[in-house]
Amino acid sequence: MPAEIDGCLRFRRVAPSFAAAALFIAGAVRAAPPPELILFHGRILTVDAQDSIAAGVAIRDGKIVALGTDREILRLAGPTTRRIDLHGRTATPGLIDSHAHIADGGVGELYHVDLSDASSVAEVVRRVQARIAALKPGEWLLGDGWDEGKLAERRYVTAADLDPVSAHNPVWLTHTTGHYGTANSAALKLAKISAASEDPPAGTIDRDAARAPTGVLKESAQDAVINLIPPPTALQQRNGILKSIDDLHREGVTGVKDPDIGQPVWDAYRELLREGKLSEHVCVLWHAGSTLASAQAALASIQRAPRPPQSLGDGRLLSCGAKIYMDGSGGGRTAWMTQEWHKNSTDIDRGNFGYPSTDPEVYRQMVALFHRAGVHVGTHAVGDRAIDWVVDTYAQVLGETPTVGLRHSIIHANIPSDHALKTMAELQARYDAGYPEAQAPFMWWIGDTYAGNFGPERALRLVPLNTYLKMGIRWGGGSDYPVTPLAARYGLWASVERETLKGTYGAHPFGTAESVDIHAALRSYTAWGARQLFLEDRIGSLEVGKDADIAVWDRDMYTMPAAQLRNLKCTMTLFQGRVVYDSKRR
Ligand SMILES: [Zn+2]
């Protein structure tokens, strides 16, 4: 139960260290200049160790200098202090997304055809046709976000669908997971993909009954097309980031881990930081590829920046570590599993166990390289077999070179085995490593596709948040944007409700035994997320001395019906004490 922070109770009910710090700061405040800003008459969910709730907060130099009752906070105000009356509204720490591709996702939103809400193949084709009218012959048309689970036909978009409207332009439509996409025939031709092409290592060319490519390319098979597409310009990259930051502010999100970046994205972040426009905590993972040579190149890039928790720009930009892919996707049935994939829930996808996307032995060498250099590793692992390999690798390198605090993570960790769960718990307790960075919104946004592919039994084990809680495993919440929408409120909701978008296989094919309550869900999007950004000393909870990153909401997420959490509205966002979003001013 949350302990209310109110006057005399405060020092009795909260931890002694907090009380001492508050006393010290309260003493200092009288001598020091008054706070620049106070928020009062609110319900401030601090997400501190006791889940305390305060009424007011005082801020100076971007930091929290006091928390307490209205009387205590208002007393600190001086003649120049700006006062914001919350009128009883709820505030939380700025939310943290431990896995969101905000740079690439922003570029997609601004410059590609949006297919994320297309509800039929015909609609996808219509949108492609409309955009192609504005292109010159030969120019690429790029689209993002389709998902067969949301299409009335419940099948892939194919080249045959696209060709009638795109004879003179190559087209590439990325699936919402990013692990597969559809090329039209013009793009297949440029990429030299034909019926005679072999599947590349760790990739799948989808084929029809006559073995001709359908246009759908999975995992590494996508590269033949993607490598032909002109990369975004520096201006587009920068606009993409700014678009995402604006969207994050509207949703009360003030910290993000952007995984899988390269030099152009890093350069764009640095430029925005220099210009004072990076009003967000961003921790990046560098793309490490799937060879030892690519890992060495990534390591060199990582080591050119300060080592976390050191940052550039006062906690705004961190070069956090390396990202490696162990396997593929639960959408494309390419993730590496111990049992065959399903189709349409109960059909078996015979002989398909998925596959590793990096050679498992090479993966192990790559992790050892980073680990020995003291660099954090985040590994994408969806299937149970991939997750086992990843946690065993972490256990091995930590056993050989024991290091506490690198927080190696299992990105997605969709369906961990009992062995993996036990190993995560041990690694966390012993080495401060082995953290799942989990996406509850998968169960919603791509939940119908997922439920069909995992099948009825395995679906119940997906994103096992309650088991994590019971085993003392902490996790970071995340959207994997643009795989699912950016707003973290969807993740808060999905952590509790585990409901799919369309209910193709029932509303709750993942069951509710692995649901957690909003207190745990919020912690995964605040305090636990902060840890995965190496920023737990400065963000993730509202405590004296921490950054004043604060989100104000239209409702109290601790008391409102959980089913409505996804409809929460952020009314104001503060980043380091500055109002970066105010719904009334838009
Ligand atoms: Zn991702």
pLDDT in tens, 470-495: 999 999 999 999 999 999 999 999 99
The torsion region of residue 503 among left (phi > 0), alpha (psi -120 to 50) and beta comes to: left
Residue 137 near residue 168, CB atoms below 8 Å: yes
- Quote the CA–CA distance of 334 and 378 in Å, as a whole number: 19
Give the per-residue pLDDT at 30: 52
Please tell me the distance between residue 234's alpha carbon and the centre of ligand 1 in angstroms. 22
- Quote the CA–CA distance of 8 and 251 in Å, as a whole number: 35
pLDDT in tens, 309-342: 999 999 999 999 999 999 999 999 999 999 999 9
The torsion region of residue 150 among left (phi > 0), alpha (psi -120 to 50) and beta comes to: alpha
Q: What SS3 string covers 120-139?
A: CHHHHHHHHHHHHCCCCCCC
pLDDT in tens, 412-440: 999 999 999 999 999 999 999 999 999 99
Please tell me the distance between residue 411's alpha carbon and the centre of ligand 1 in angstroms. 8
Give the per-residue pLDDT at 1: 35
The residues with which 40 forms a beta bridge, in sequence order, are 85
Give the per-residue pLDDT at 83: 98
Whether the pLDDT of residue 9 is over 50: the answer is no
Please tell me the distance between residue 525's alpha carbon and the centre of ligand 1 in angstroms. 16
Taken as a whole, the chain contains a residue count of 586
- The model's confidence at residue 194, banded by pLDDT at 50, 70 and 90, is very high
Would the pTM count as exceeding 0.75?
yes
pLDDT in tens, 543-561: 999 999 999 999 999 999 9
Whether the pLDDT of residue 586 is over 90: the answer is no
The torsion region of residue 88 among left (phi > 0), alpha (psi -120 to 50) and beta comes to: left
Token digits of residue 249: 């502010």
Please tell me the distance between residue 483's alpha carbon and the centre of ligand 1 in angstroms. 7
State the average pLDDT for the chain.
94
Token digits of residue 571: 């009314």
**If you average pLDDT over each of 3-12, 20-29, 62-71, which comes out highest?**
62-71
Please tell me the distance between residue 99's alpha carbon and the centre of ligand 1 in angstroms. 6
Please tell me the distance between residue 40's alpha carbon and the centre of ligand 1 in angstroms. 38
Give the per-residue pLDDT at 31: 66
Please tell me the distance between residue 44's alpha carbon and the centre of ligand 1 in angstroms. 31
Please tell me the distance between residue 354's alpha carbon and the centre of ligand 1 in angstroms. 18
Helix, strand, coil shares of the chain, percent, nearest 5, are 35, 20, 40
Higher confidence at residue 410 or residue 23? 410
What one-letter code names the amino acid at 108? G
Give the per-residue pLDDT at 585: 83
Percent of the chain with pLDDT over 90: 94
Residue 322 near residue 302, CB atoms below 8 Å: yes
Please tell me the distance between residue 189's alpha carbon and the centre of ligand 1 in angstroms. 29
- Quote the CA–CA distance of 471 and 564 in Å, as a whole number: 28
The residues with which 175 forms a beta bridge, in sequence order, are 146
- Kindly provide the b/e burial profile for residues 435-457, where b requires at least 16 CB atoms within 10 angstroms of the residue's own CB: bbbbbbbbbbbbbbbbbbbbbbe
Please tell me the distance between residue 156's alpha carbon and the centre of ligand 1 in angstroms. 21
- The model's confidence at residue 32, banded by pLDDT at 50, 70 and 90, is confident
